Structure 1
Amino acid sequence: MIKGLLTGGGIIAAVIAGSAFAQTYPIKPVTLVVGYPAGGPVDAFARALGQRLTEELKQSFIIDNKPGANEIIASQHVARAQPDGYTIFVSTEAPLTQNQFLYKKLGYNPVIDLMPVSQLVSVPMTLAVSPGFPANTLKEFLEVARKRQENPIAYASGGVGGVTHLPMAMLAKNEDFKWSHVPYKGAAPILPDLMVGHVDATILAVSFLQQHINEKKLKALAVYADKRAASLPNVPTFKELGIRDIRANFIIGMVAPKGTPQPIAEKLASVSKRVMQDKSFRERFMDPFAFTEVGSSPTEFSAYLVADRVVQEERVKVSGATLD
């Protein structure tokens, strides 16, 4: 009985200490680790959010880009960092719910080593084809894809097993056509090849493609969202075209090293949500790119990741992607 009281007292003391720590947090600069090079949608959003967190919390939030290996390099770095709230990972779901089904060895365990903080936003993607591709609608695209059995459409993604690879694997399975996967090292190198027709199609973030689509350098066939993107008002959604769900979106979330005090995680989640609900922030950094605010709590994000691992295991299996 006494042991139980001591144990309970220790837990209460830890909670009180964590809460007091969170009240003064942060007292020094915070590093936001991003698993992609500068300039992409995850990096751009992390920088915008970091700037506003700097203003809100009166300490610098510094971006540290650690690109490579489907965010594994960044994940390993964060997993080994001190769990004190001063190293935070701004990531997609790839290192949290996909990589464990893709790689035989990761060097980190997303469940054991990383702590959910918040799912910040959902980022829609769009299916785009080269200007000379003989289809102007998704229906025409599928007709062409089914006919090209001997010369399957060449589909470009930002890497095997990543968030830009798996949606096409699901679309091909659901709509019964063959395709040839052409993986690139990230999204940026895809654009010049797609524009001149070296590859036929890609599915990438609306924010990354919209300028090239509006300039007629690419053709957009469908957007994955509940409603049309404000920046691409003439492009229908997969849903309104009656296409089965292919999850052509990705999330941007925050995680921390396991053991980071829960009150700090809750504070980061709460302040980030407040930033995203600010009209000026939304108008500049979210609405133009069709980002959907989520702003979940650590508990809600944890539940989301548990459910998403089931979905991603099936998607990886359908894609046939396996990596060493």
Structure 2
Amino acid sequence: MGGLFSRQISRRSLGVVARSLAVGVLGAAMLAGAAQAQNNTVRLLVGFPPGGGTDAIARMLAEKLKDQLGSSVIVDNRAGAGGQIAAQVLKTAHPDGTTFFLTHDHTISILPQVVKNPGFDPAKDFVAVAGFATFVNALAVSGGTPAKSVNDYVAWVKSAQAGKGTVGVPAPASVPEFLVKLIGQKYAVDLQAAPYRGSAPMIGDMLGNQIAAGVGSIPDFIENHKAGKIRVVAVLGGTRQALLPDVPTFAELGLAGFEDVPYYGIFAPAGTPKAAIDKFAEAVSKVVAMPDVRDRLTAMGLTVGYMSPSQLASREQAYTKVWAKIIKDSGFQPQ
């Protein structure tokens, strides 16, 4: 009797153990699957807050890239310091092909030249992945001013503001800030740049007539310009923009030296495997070749054009060299 009871207990124990093992194996498999899904998620860093031009571009591309990569692509906004915070995050990210940084010229080419300790060195810490567009910056005035041209704006500053004006810029020590200084010098008015944490809050203040003018990119301004809420009065670059055929270039107005236009590109942490870089670059090339993507980017004021990793690296180096001279000639001291 005792032996039979013992054998029954043993069978029951074995059954419990077997079920426990099965549950454990299933749980481990589920955890492994979740971990794998998480590891397959691609993070696209953006150095500016939601609502601005760069964020809008990143979210549009992320939606298309996920199909090309076969992975989820999330936009991770690390706003602040003109993209410096996001760049520092990229530097410390594990170079496994799951973290990339979508940015424009300021963070990569300008910021390391105007900040003493940016916390990253693009030449050592990053690797170029793909470029997809160029764009131009512009001067725009708010609806609260009567100005319809640069000359109108200057006249208004002189008459209504005692010769002193404040112009918003998306980031400190940026191309827009240098442009504000040069505009003031050319027209003999005291213009002071007011740095914001990205274009979205700057444009918000322009729409609320808290600030009379701003310098930013065409993608930042174009929708509100079309709506008549702000007015773009001059653009950089060597030629007028197709979206703004009636708006003169600064070169036409006698302010030369800003013909080399900025770029948008994607970068990865140094050490990222070449296979991962090539895969992402190929995905970008396919996405920007899509007619609907090209149309949407063009409508935002971008000139769409794919750049391979080597082409983006060359573009970044050339642009950095151009601005090294402008910054030096301006007498600006890194802060």
Structure 1-normalised TM-score? Answer: 0.80
Secondary structure of the 2:48 match is coil
Q: Are 1:118 and 2:130 counterparts? A: yes
Gaps of 5+ in 1: 1-26
Q: Are 1:270 and 2:282 counterparts? A: yes
1:1-324 alignment runs, 5 A limit: 28-142=40-154, 151-173=163-185, 177-195=189-207, 197-225=209-237, 226-230=239-243, 232-239=244-251, 243-246=255-258, 250-283=262-295, 285-317=296-328, 318=330, 320=332, 322-323=334-335
Structure 2 distance, partners of 1:263, 1:146, is 58
Task: Name the structure where helix makes up a greater proportion of residues.
Answer: 2
Structure 2 distance, partners of 1:159, 1:276, is 27
Structure 2 distance, partners of 1:211, 1:173, is 30
Shift of 1:37: 1.3
Shift of 1:95: 2.3
Question: How many pairs are equivalent?
Answer: 296
Structure 2 distance, partners of 1:197, 1:62, is 34
Structure 1 counterpart of 2:75, which letter? Answer: I
- Aligned-residue sequence identity (percent) comes to 27
Shift of 1:241: 5.0
Question: What value does the CA root-mean-square deviation take over the aligned residues?
Answer: 2.9
What CA deviation, in whole Å up to 9, does each residue of 1:110-161 have, x standing for no partner?
Answer: 1111111122211333311133435322344456668899632221112211
Whether contact under 8 Å (1:276, 1:282) holds in the other structure is: yes
Secondary structure of the 1:160 match is coil
Shift of 1:179: 1.4
Gaps of 5+ in 2: 1-38
Structure 2 counterpart of 1:96, which letter? Answer: I
Structure 2 distance, partners of 1:175, 1:314, is 22
What CA deviation, in whole Å up to 9, does each residue of 1:2-45 have, x standing for no partner?
Answer: xxxxxxxxxxxxxxxxxxxxxxxxx8221111111122111111
Whether contact under 8 Å (1:75, 1:108) holds in the other structure is: yes
Larger Rg: 2
What CA deviation, in whole Å up to 9, does each residue of 1:228-286 have, x standing for no partner?
Answer: 343x4543444555641336954221111111122332332232122112112112x21
Whether contact under 8 Å (1:125, 1:205) holds in the other structure is: yes
Shift of 1:221: 0.8
Structure 2 distance, partners of 1:49, 1:138, is 34
